[in-house]
Structure 1
């Protein structure tokens, strides 16, 4: 039998790990959403901070800091003039060696040669071209000049093909012939692909023949084009980043080197094909590199290639453009720039985004990220739990009891059990009945007739109306977020504890409207003038009239007196200070609520004198109560008051 070895998995995240529990992520988002943030902004904030409960995983902010640190290191690593400096140094060395050889010779030929050396142009490229046909007397000078030409060949080719410098470390005519053939085959393959004649087997044969020129080991032609285009664009950016004098001198050296190597035509052909396939790359932008050490062309192009990756990564990781998603971040670029661990961190963040949608908490509609009803229920439960956590144990009573069913308070009496009864069994009276009936052998046996249930007060269903002020003043006074949390908590409370109740949440500003549970979490205040409580009470009255057998519960949350009313033609009328007509129409609806036997409890979030006078008048006419809680205790007050009213019934 073959043996098996088991151990820790090292190639990325554990593939057998259980699915990520996104409820904790949703709760983290909920904190921001309940404070007034949009679902999209709260998701971005979560992804920037990182996974809740996973300190070993980096968020987008930390990855961004790493990207910027890496950019700074690259920018300070060196400057772009290294090849020019080395070429000038080798040229000066060769000329000095030749002069040293000529100086002891008294012949006219030696003087003519010195004159020829004196006329060599100061421009490096022109000097190399002029000396290309010079007959060197000094063997050391000839060797130095060949070293210069080899340097230029290696650097120019390495600036287009990563790793070519190593392949040409010991150049020979056969190697250069092989480079020329590779470029010709590459261009032919690109031409066939442009005509639609390329196949994967063509690429495989090409790589089998020239794999040592491509250390990146691309798997197909598209990957190879991406590698070569990114490097060619970086080479262009290197030239664009130089001074005009440096750029002209180096470009001349490149052109001459390619011409001497018999590669000028093939390189131009390749450049045109790459640009046509990837015009989206930044071919002509520039980049500052301020280091003291001069970099060779290959190293400089590699650094600029990495800087381009980092620039793109920075833009993608910031996620500050319309429709941004983490799937936009190039995983290969992350791996090249920051390593495998950063890929794993990014994948963990992507998993949050995917799972929130897959598990039905988020959805995208018309490019907008929205919470689903499932997510709103979760946030409502969270808001309600926090309200209960803030209540003192003595004030909570049995309202967090999960097995109370729909029954009311116990009366202390019992009655015989009937099929279908849901009241709790009265264990003591049931056992007493069994004992009285008698048993055999000292054992008590129970029959159906022995069972009794505890009687409870009849609990009627309630028609609940929560009227929430949406006016701009709520945002200015920073009371809007607590009001929204309160609405979510009350909605969750009624749905979970009192499923028979009919709850309606009404938002009002210049107009009033019914708010659906799924829109509560992402609800925004209205940037308009007007507090139209008159319209809100009209809508609430219709809700109560649709449930005539339900106990009416009306709760008003506001920070200002009514300043608008609904006119006969259906339009709103705003006036501040409030007009007499606005107050009279609003109080008229209060009187109608009183005739419906609906108690209005008002929670005022401001201490304006006119607001106090108005709510005192509402309480006098209706018999309801007035509360003035701080914003952070609004949910506690509203939920406690609702539970108190339900317990009374």
Structure 2
């Protein structure tokens, strides 16, 4: 039994898993894709465009369509630069030269030969035309004295026959090397039956049984294994069209030489007659194939007719792959990419990359992060907005936790009385840990992973549970974001949206008792939902109406009289417009004194409502800095001048500090990093 088991073990072989997706492959990670798509949407792309752009670019460890397309283009360019199309002509010339040389040697050595016959033969050899086709034709009736020369000359006819067949049937050149008369007769019978089958199909009176009978008799000539006459037609027409494109790419002299040589194929014109009939039928049955194309081939490596046809088929495959990868035609889909052809042309690694992109797109749709609306266009779902917001919050957490000298000065339970319930810790939670539940989770996870707890237990983030608390003090938060011309022009558009989404996600997921209102202000101001703000196109109209934005913020505060007002203002310019009493918009630059006055008056109203105010000044304009500093001093507020990439961390930190009753000043985030 042991010997049998060893023998069985030696018989086991491992290879690539080919029956569908790899069951051991890790799941597709959507985090990077969703973040990139979200950024593009915020920059003004539609979700459909953003998804396509990500698939084109790829990710950190993900090859995109553009990279695959570049590899396709490079291979196509290499094929054209590497080869030329006179391989068959050169091979014929070499065989002809070798035959003539052997014959001359035999004539010189043959002392028994009549001098007159020798002189006549030498004169015929000396006066052969320069054209290989004409020389072969003239020597067709020559009486060879050298057996080696006669063999080389017969090989020319055999070579031409095999090359002509290889153009239409891949693999025929090698299969018919050293072919017998019986082999040639089998080819003739196959061509006759094939032409008869295609003629019947053209008339519309062929039957499946006729196709089955044909394949039973001649299936060895068709390694592709077509299962219907349409599949047979497709394979034949694609190769025949490639052969025609190769012919189109030749010089007129090359075409003339090959046409003349073709009559010598197998020493009979019958082969070319049958192949010509086949080509005519294929053209009529598959007119959509590319029969008229051509290619410049001026490399150093000569191609025979069969190999050249294969190269032109490869070029056709590469052209089709380039179109599939470009995804530029109407109704294009990433599922259009032919993975088998991609693997054949670029290798299995390219097919794996493309399959990963297909799986990523499918996972995005199946996960509910994007959906197709009634208009056929993709839209980001609320779930996608939440996931994107969580990702942005993680970025904020990393930035805030990297600040030095920040400590969490809160006392445990300050957010409210404990309710007795626990839940998994999430970003932004301020409640104390439930130590018992946390350690139990860590022990259970370690045991499940096959580890031992004898040397201690390592706690991971997913193990942590916190103690729920009762409702905390509410805050009414107004985030005012500048959407004027300069925000888009100076590259602050996307960071502004990322900031709004991060704050919205934090409040709606971890501070549900708070009420956030998003207010955009350009020439006028308006209240926006988060999805509206995220999808807002860049505004190219000049004007910064802080007055109108503060009016809306104060209306929000008055609707929540028992909540702590928190006013957060993100801007890169002084106020240049305001609302007139009749509702008209006044604009002037430089800022008019009246515009400044009404903005200051409305900011005073925010202070009287008890608002904790923080300005986030973007840019280095000194006039703006003086204006905002004076406004902040007037209402006891704070000013933060973050770099654009730090805007999200600055706003979230200010919000967390303000709702604890404190504020932020300069670079001090009041221990906000401790919340993460």
TM-score w.r.t. the length of structure 2 is 0.75
Give me the whole-angstrom Cα distance separating, in 2, the residues matched to 1:539 and 1:199: 78
* Residue segments in structure 2 that go unaligned for 5+ positions in a row: 422-430, 435-466, 663-676
- Alignment deviations for residues 266-313 of structure 1 (CA, whole Å, 9 cap, x no partner): 433433444456555544444344543422211122223223323433
> Deviation at 1:163?
0.8
> Deviation at 1:560?
0.9
Give me the whole-angstrom Cα distance separating, in 2, the residues matched to 1:90 and 1:607: 81
Question: Are residue 612 (structure 1) and residue 625 (structure 2) matched?
Answer: yes
> Deviation at 1:468?
1.5
Question: Are residue 469 (structure 1) and residue 482 (structure 2) matched?
Answer: yes
Question: Are residue 643 (structure 1) and residue 649 (structure 2) matched?
Answer: no
> Deviation at 1:369?
4.6
SS of 1:552's partner is: strand
Pairing 1:231-630 to 2, within 5 Å after superposition: 231-254=239-262, 257=265, 260-275=268-283, 281-317=289-325, 325-365=333-373, 368-392=377-401, 395=406, 397=408, 408-409=415-416, 459-521=472-534, 523-544=536-557, 546-547=559-560, 549-565=562-578, 574-580=587-593, 582-587=595-600, 589-591=602-604, 593-594=606-607, 596-616=609-629, 618-619=631-632, 622-630=635-643
Shift of the 59–203 alpha-carbon distance from structure 1 to 2, 3 Å rule, reads farther
Match of 1:90 in 2: 95
Contact 2:263 2:272 in 1 (8 A): yes
> Deviation at 1:237?
2.8
> Deviation at 1:69?
5.8
> Deviation at 1:235?
1.8
> Deviation at 1:604?
1.2
SS of 2:395's partner is: helix
> Deviation at 1:494?
0.5
- Alignment deviations for residues 466-512 of structure 1 (CA, whole Å, 9 cap, x no partner): 12122342244333333222111101111111113232223333444
Deviates more, 1:316-325 or 1:462-471: 316-325
Give me the whole-angstrom Cα distance separating, in 2, the residues matched to 1:30 and 1:153: 58
Match of 1:442 in 2: none
RMSD of aligned Cα (Å): 4.5
> Deviation at 1:155?
0.7
SS of 2:655's partner is: helix
Question: Are residue 136 (structure 1) and residue 143 (structure 2) matched?
Answer: yes
Contact 1:189 1:198 in 2 (8 A): yes
Contact 1:372 1:518 in 2 (8 A): no
Match of 2:673 in 1: none
Contact 2:471 2:513 in 1 (8 A): no
Match of 1:439 in 2: none
SS of 1:557's partner is: strand
Choose which of 7, 11, 14 in structure 1 pairs with 2:17.
11
Match of 1:430 in 2: none
Contact 1:33 1:522 in 2 (8 A): no
* Residue segments in structure 1 that go unaligned for 5+ positions in a row: 428-453
Give me the whole-angstrom Cα distance separating, in 2, the residues matched to 1:273 and 1:568: 83
> Deviation at 1:136?
2.7
Match of 1:215 in 2: 223
TM-score w.r.t. the length of structure 1 is 0.78
SS of 1:463's partner is: strand
SS of 2:302's partner is: coil
- Alignment deviations for residues 596-644 of structure 1 (CA, whole Å, 9 cap, x no partner): 5545432111232332344345436655433222223222221121112
SS of 1:159's partner is: helix
Give me the whole-angstrom Cα distance separating, in 2, the residues matched to 1:320 and 1:341: 24
Shift of the 30–62 alpha-carbon distance from structure 1 to 2, 3 Å rule, reads closer
Match of 1:445 in 2: none
Shift of the 25–180 alpha-carbon distance from structure 1 to 2, 3 Å rule, reads farther
SS of 2:540's partner is: coil
SS of 1:648's partner is: coil
Shift of the 459–92 alpha-carbon distance from structure 1 to 2, 3 Å rule, reads closer
Shift of the 583–200 alpha-carbon distance from structure 1 to 2, 3 Å rule, reads farther
Contact 1:20 1:351 in 2 (8 A): no
> Deviation at 1:122?
3.7
Choose which of 151, 169, 174 in structure 2 pairs with 1:166.
174
Give me the whole-angstrom Cα distance separating, in 2, the residues matched to 1:284 and 1:184: 27
SS of 2:660's partner is: helix
> Deviation at 1:377?
0.8
**How many pairs are equivalent?**
605
> Deviation at 1:164?
1.2
Contact 2:129 2:135 in 1 (8 A): yes
Shift of the 324–466 alpha-carbon distance from structure 1 to 2, 3 Å rule, reads farther
Contact 1:101 1:137 in 2 (8 A): no
> Deviation at 1:592?
5.0
Shift of the 527–189 alpha-carbon distance from structure 1 to 2, 3 Å rule, reads farther
